[in-house]
Structure 1
Amino acid sequence: MTTWWLWLYVTAMAGGTLLFLAWWARPCGVPAVEYQVAVAVPVWSGLWYAALALGHGRVTDAGGPSVSWARYADWAVSASLLLVALALTATHALPERHPKLLTALVGLNLAMIAAGLLADLAAGPWGRYLYFALGAVALSGIFAVIWGPLRSVARRQPRGLHHAYLEAAALLTVLWIGYPLIWLAGPSGVGLLGPTADTALFVLLSVASKVGWGAFDLARLRSLARRRELAVAGRP
């Protein structure tokens, strides 16, 4: 059953890739870099989950549960790309991309992913929860940048784009809060969830975070771009 969920995820990533490529073929005034980032997320993520479905990307201690390190290899890149997409939305109509903020977001994300992997690999509960706490601090730092300086940058854009950023940031925040909660409830945490339920929830949440969120963000940008084109053409 766990393998079935993994292949379902790979299928969803393939569908997301095709959707973003179809939109890229008709960009509707949205820059190519937005589509490139959107496509890269499901392609990268789908490859790693295909490896998991084929029985690779795991390490097992003697007598202990297996650790899916491939999941963390996926998140290190795909989650960073999602933050890049959010930063692009925040600076969509601005001349500067604010690379320092983007570097801070990606750096915090990598620290969070590394802490999560170390928590899974830790031998005892004290080590697991220590690394989990460090990951939670890094996640809090990501949210602080998103809702602090990056939000201030987004406010300099036209109202529609500012609102698009707020909506995308709110959705990403809600989705990402789900990851540590599932980790805590799963086999790595208190064990309320079994391996199959843990995998299923991570699959559903990741599909929503990578394909669902990406589609939401791009759809808003495409809609705003079409409105601008109609306004320039003098049509209602």
Structure 2
Amino acid sequence: MTDWWLWLYVASMAGGTMLFLAWWARPCGVPAIEYQVAVAVPVWSGLWYAVLALGDGRVTDPGGQSVSWARYADWTVSASLLLVALALTATHALPRRHPWLPTTLVGLNVTMIAAGLLADLSAGSRSRYLYFALGTVALLGIFAVIWGPLRSVARRQPDGLHHAYVEAAALLTLLWIGYPLIWLAGPSGAGLLGPTTDTALFVLLSIASKIGWGAFDLARLRGLARRHELALAGRP
């Protein structure tokens, strides 16, 4: 049953890739970099979950639990790309991209993912929850940048784009809160969830985060670009 969920994820990433490529073929005024990032997320993520579905990408921790290191390899890059996509939305209509903001977000994300992997591999519960706490602090740092300086930058854009950023940031925040909660309830934490349920929840949440969120963000940008073109043409 676990393998079924993993292959479902791979198929979903393939479908998401095809969707984003189809939109890229008709960009509707949205810059190519937005589509490149959107496509890279499911391609990278789908490859690593295919590794898991084929029975690889795992090690056994000191307590005898199976740890999916391939999942962390996926998140290190795919989650960083999602943050870059959000930063691109925040600076969509601005002449400068403020590169220090996505760099900070990526650095915090790598710290969060590394802490999560160390927590999964830790032998003792004290060190396990210490690493988990470090990862949680990094996640809170990500939220602080998203809702602090990055939102301030987004406010310099026209109202429509500013609202698009706020909506995308709110959705991403809501989705990402689910990851530590599932970790805490799963085999790595309190053990309230079995391996199959843990995998299923991570799969569903990751599909929503990578394909659902990416489609939402791109659709908003495409809609705003169309409205701008119609306004320039003098059409309602």
Distance in 2 of aligned mates of 1:116 and 1:137: 11
Equivalent residues in 2 for 1:85-234, closer than 5 Å: 85-234=85-234
Q: Which residue of 1 is the match for residue 16 of structure 2?
A: 16
SS across alignment from 2:23: helix
SS across alignment from 1:165: helix
SS across alignment from 1:47: helix
The two structures, once aligned, show a CA RMSD in angstroms of: 0.7
1:203-224 deviations in whole A, cap 9, x for unaligned?
Answer: 0000000000000000000000
1:162-194 deviations in whole A, cap 9, x for unaligned?
Answer: 000000000000000000000000000000000
Q: Which residue of 2 is the match for residue 52 of structure 1?
A: 52
Q: AA paired with 2:164?
A: A
1:105-131 deviations in whole A, cap 9, x for unaligned?
Answer: 000000000000000000011011000
TM-score for the superposition, normalised by structure 1: 0.99
Distance in 2 of aligned mates of 1:180 and 1:99: 28
Query: Unpaired segments of 5 or more residues in structure 2?
Result: none
Distance in 2 of aligned mates of 1:63 and 1:80: 30
Once the 2 structures are TM-superposed, how far is the Cα of residue 60 of structure 1 from its aligned partner? 1.2
Report how many residues are paired: 236
Distance in 2 of aligned mates of 1:163 and 1:33: 21
TM-score for the superposition, normalised by structure 2: 0.99
Distance in 2 of aligned mates of 1:75 and 1:97: 24
Q: AA paired with 1:202?
A: F
SS across alignment from 1:86: helix
Q: AA paired with 1:24?
A: W
Distance in 2 of aligned mates of 1:159 and 1:63: 53
The 8 Å contact of residues 61 and 122 in structure 2, kept in 1 or not, is answered as no
Large movers: runs of 4+ above 3 Å: none
SS across alignment from 2:27: coil
Once the 2 structures are TM-superposed, how far is the Cα of residue 61 of structure 1 from its aligned partner? 3.8
Distance in 2 of aligned mates of 1:103 and 1:214: 20
